[in-house]
């Protein structure tokens, strides 16, 4: 009969605290964790017995990583060292795949694909940023291209018009300028001018329609204020200490890549982390408490992030560009005699694995329920704050117009008094 010694530790939502001593749901522990419930089903399918070995020592827990601190090839430490030495047969929850771990251990059949995401406190737009939101439908570079293109076309139309006429250009009727370039007082007489007029009109129609649609979307569903958008920006903000990486999972493949990857971006991030070290927390609860503060970023797998943000509505998930997807599975000793039978049971249990995932998603879905309710209720009407930018423009225009009026009034009175004298 197969008997497995399984090391486990609190790793929400994979393993909850009450699940340290059980794989199956009990009266005292109705929710031992996603990994434990799946393991219970798999071991039963294999006809295997087991012994759970809970790891409660916080110092040992921090050793769940591969270290290269001695300047040589990375090697397992802490509980992973015990796994390599045969003290345990497997770890009781899934690990993100990494080449470092694959060199020392056997992974089970892949459970599912996992992408790297970042959890952090929800960012909020400042009053000034929200005021400018109405003008940020396009990126500023797009505005510059549009303005430059339109300016070039206007100059081209003027030049083409004046090729056949010595009459100076009069732009007093700019509202009808485009239409009259085709037939009217500014009608183009040359093929190049007509071509430019058609392109001018088409571009104006497209840009106007696109701007109106994007503006409505921007106001009804304003974008999330992200602190960074890609690998380069993350490196820059960690190096400047605007952001600090935090984790309760120092063995995650992301941190392994920082310490040992030859890829240039990870080496740059490693240099940034040396100036602004990663803060490691002994448990998920203390990590989540820290994430209530601004300036902290928690890298983790998308599957774990999905569960962590269910009841922590202050968190946002940031998906940045430049990071590769990976997958995760259970970790066994190298050349384990149990891995093939375990994989057979795991492949046959894919449906049950999805059932367990969904069960724990429904267990804690406070934030998700609020989002679904918002969708059912509909989109909120535009608030006064959403249109602050437009009213600010009106205010600036009013002040400018009033200033011009006062200037003209004073100038007129001065000229009258001068004439009288």
Mark whether 45 and 72 lie in a shared domain.
Answer: yes
Residue 305: band (very low, low, confident or very high) from pLDDT cuts 50, 70, 90: confident
CB 66 within 8 A of CB 101: yes
Mark whether 309 and 393 lie in a shared domain.
Answer: no
More confident of the two residues 259 and 295 = 295
* Residue 314: predicted pLDDT: 81
Alpha helix (H) residue ranges in 293-387:
302-308, 339-348, 350-363, 366-377
Mark whether 147 and 189 lie in a shared domain.
Answer: yes
The most confident of the ranges 66-70, 131-135, 253-257, 334-338 is 334-338
Mark whether 339 and 402 lie in a shared domain.
Answer: no
Domain's final residue, options 220, 248, 281: 220
Query: What gap in Å lies between CA 137 and CA 212, rounded to an integer?
Result: 9
pLDDT tens digit string along 322-344?
677 778 889 999 999 999 999 99
pLDDT tens digit string along 281-290?
877 888 889 9
CB 389 within 8 A of CB 135: yes
**Above 80 in pLDDT, residue 364?**
no
Could you tell me if residue 379 is inside a domain? no
Mark whether 353 and 294 lie in a shared domain.
Answer: no
Could you tell me if residue 120 is inside a domain? no
Instruction: Give the residue numbers spanning the domain of 187.
Output: 129-220
* Residue 42: predicted pLDDT: 92
Q: Tell me the percentage of the chain whose pLDDT exceeds 90.
A: 14
Domain's final residue, options 289, 304, 322: 322
The conformation of residue 321, written as its DSSP 8-state character, comes to: B
Residue 413: band (very low, low, confident or very high) from pLDDT cuts 50, 70, 90: confident
User: Could you count the other beta carbons within 10 Å of the beta carbon of residue 128?
Assistant: 10
3-state secondary structure of 119: strand
CB 77 within 8 A of CB 31: no
Tell me the average pLDDT across 9-23: 86
* Residue 206: predicted pLDDT: 73
pLDDT tens digit string along 223-281?
655 567 778 888 888 999 989 999 887 777 788 778 777 777 788 888 898 899 999 88
* Residue 172: predicted pLDDT: 47
Best CA proximity match to 188, nearest among 167, 154, 162: 162
**Above 50 in pLDDT, residue 173?**
no
Cα end-to-end distance, the chain, whole Å: 119
Mark whether 255 and 189 lie in a shared domain.
Answer: no
Could you tell me if residue 389 is inside a domain? yes
Alpha helix (H) residue ranges in 188-283:
191-220, 231-239, 253-260, 264-275
Could you tell me if residue 374 is inside a domain? no
More confident of the two residues 194 and 77 = 77
Residue 66's DSSP bridge partners are: 76
CB 205 within 8 A of CB 179: no
Mark whether 286 and 213 lie in a shared domain.
Answer: no
Asked if omega into 13 is within 30° of 0 (cis), the reply is: yes
CATH number at residue 27: 3.40.190.10
User: Could you count the other beta carbons within 10 Å of the beta carbon of residue 143?
Assistant: 13
**Above 50 in pLDDT, residue 377?**
no
Tell me the average pLDDT across 79-94: 88
Mark whether 300 and 249 lie in a shared domain.
Answer: yes
Which of these ranges, 185-189, 215-219, 387-391, 416-420, has the smallest mean pLDDT? 185-189
* Residue 365: predicted pLDDT: 61
Could you tell me if residue 121 is inside a domain? no
Mark whether 286 and 255 lie in a shared domain.
Answer: yes
Reduce the secondary structure of 225-236 to three states and give it as a string: CCCCCEHHHHHH
Could you tell me if residue 123 is inside a domain? no
Mark whether 363 and 393 lie in a shared domain.
Answer: no
The pTM of this model reads: 0.61
* Residue 141: predicted pLDDT: 78
Residue 418: band (very low, low, confident or very high) from pLDDT cuts 50, 70, 90: low
| Overall residue count recorded for the chain in this entry | 421
More confident of the two residues 144 and 182 = 144
Residue 95: band (very low, low, confident or very high) from pLDDT cuts 50, 70, 90: confident
User: Could you count the other beta carbons within 10 Å of the beta carbon of residue 197?
Assistant: 25
Domain's final residue, options 194, 220, 246: 220
Mark whether 287 and 356 lie in a shared domain.
Answer: no
Could you tell me if residue 396 is inside a domain? yes
More confident of the two residues 259 and 347 = 347
Mark whether 295 and 262 lie in a shared domain.
Answer: yes
Say how many domains are in the chain.
4
Q: What is the mean pLDDT of the chain?
A: 75
């Amino acid at each position: 009969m197969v008997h497995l010694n399984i090391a486990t530790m609190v790793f929400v939502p994979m393993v909850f605290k009450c699940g340290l001593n059980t794989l199956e749901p009990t009266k005292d522990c109705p929710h031992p964790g996603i990994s434990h419930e799946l393991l219970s089903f798999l071991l039963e399918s294999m006809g295997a017995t087991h012994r759970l070995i809970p790891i409660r020592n916080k110092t040992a827990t921090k050793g769940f990583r591969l270290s290269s601190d001695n300047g040589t090839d990375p090697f397992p430490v802490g509980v992973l060292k015990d796994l390599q030495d045969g003290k345990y047969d497997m770890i009781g929850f899934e690990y993100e795949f990494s080449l470092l771990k694959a060199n020392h251990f056997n992974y089970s059949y892949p459970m599912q694909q996992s992408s790297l995401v970042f959890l952090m406190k929800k960012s909020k737009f400042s009053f000034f940023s929200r005021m400018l939101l109405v003008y940020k439908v396009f990126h500023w570079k797009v505005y510059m291209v549009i303005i430059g293109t339109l300016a070039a076309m206007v100059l081209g139309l003027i030049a083409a018009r004046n090729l056949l006429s010595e009459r100076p250009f009069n732009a007093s009727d700019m509202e009808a300028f485009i239409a009259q370039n085709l037939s009217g007082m500014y009608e183009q007489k040359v093929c190049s001018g007509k071509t430019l007029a058609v392109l001018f009109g088409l571009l104006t129609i497209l840009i106007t329609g696109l701007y109106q649609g994007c503006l409505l979307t921007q106001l009804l569903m304003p974008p999330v204020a992200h602190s960074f958008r890609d690998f380069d920006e993350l490196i820059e903000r960690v190096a400047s200490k605007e952001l600090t990486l935090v984790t309760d999972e120092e063995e995650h493949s992301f941190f392994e890549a920082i310490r040992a990857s030859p890829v240039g971006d990870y080496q740059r991030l490693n240099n940034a982390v040396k100036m602004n070290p990663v803060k490691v927390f002994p448990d998920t609860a203390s990590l989540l408490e820290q994430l209530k503060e601004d300036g902290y970023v928690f890298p983790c797998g998308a599957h774990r992030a999905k569960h962590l943000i269910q009841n922590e509505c202050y968190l946002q998930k940031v998906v940045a560009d430049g990071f590769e997807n990976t997958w995760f599975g259970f970790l066994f000793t190298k050349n384990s005699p149990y891995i093939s039978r375990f994989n057979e049971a795991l492949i046959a249990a894919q449906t049950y694995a999805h059932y367990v995932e969904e069960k724990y998603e429904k267990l804690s879905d406070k934030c998700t329920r609020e989002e679904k309710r918002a969708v059912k209720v509909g989109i909120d009407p535009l608030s006064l704050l959403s249109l602050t930018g437009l009213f600010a423009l009106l205010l600036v225009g009013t002040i400018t117009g009033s200033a011009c009026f006062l200037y003209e009034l004073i100038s007129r009175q001065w000229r009258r008094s001068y004439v009288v004298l």
